Amino acid sequence: MNGWAQVADTAGAVLLFVGAAVSLFGALGMVLMPDVLSRSHAATNPQALGMLLVLMGVALRLRSGIDLGTLGLVGFFQLLTGPVAAHLVARVAYRTGYAGREGLVFDELDEQLSTAPQPKGDGAG
């Protein structure tokens, strides 16, 4: 094994370990945080970073064009869908009253919802 491959394998192993540790801390944050909004933050930010570090570590170990393309697509779709899912969870928690509104410093959504026109009827036309 040449010098470059050994360095890439070592760097890949370090990235795998660091990514797994970041994901573990994100999972602990999901368990330990007090409300839904804090949990959704802990679910998205560290998890996305940890997953990207793991993908980079795997990419350094595999070093194949098709594998790198697949890993790139996995990372892209994770970064695309993770924040959207967290936004939807936070929005549902806010609208159902589970978001812990008393901890919010400024609540713009409450102002927008209270001034928005209400739909007429039940929609069963």
pLDDT tens-digit map of 9-66: 999 999 999 999 999 999 998 899 888 888 888 888 888 899 999 999 999 999 888 9
Residue 122 lies in a domain: no
Residue 53 lies in a domain: yes
CA distances 32 to 94, 105, 121, Å, are 20, 22, 43
Residue 115 lies in a domain: no
Of 1 and 46, which is predicted with more confidence?
Answer: 46
Distance between CA 28 and CA 62 in Å, rounded?
Answer: 30
Residue 82's pLDDT is 86
Q: What is the pLDDT of residues 73-88, one digit of tens each?
A: 999 999 999 888 888 8
Return the closest-CA partner of residue 20 out of 69, 45, 57, 75. 57
Domain count for the chain, please give it: 1
The DSSP 8-state label assigned to residue 124 in this structure reads -
Residue type, 82: G
List the domain range (segments joined by +) for residue 87: 3-101
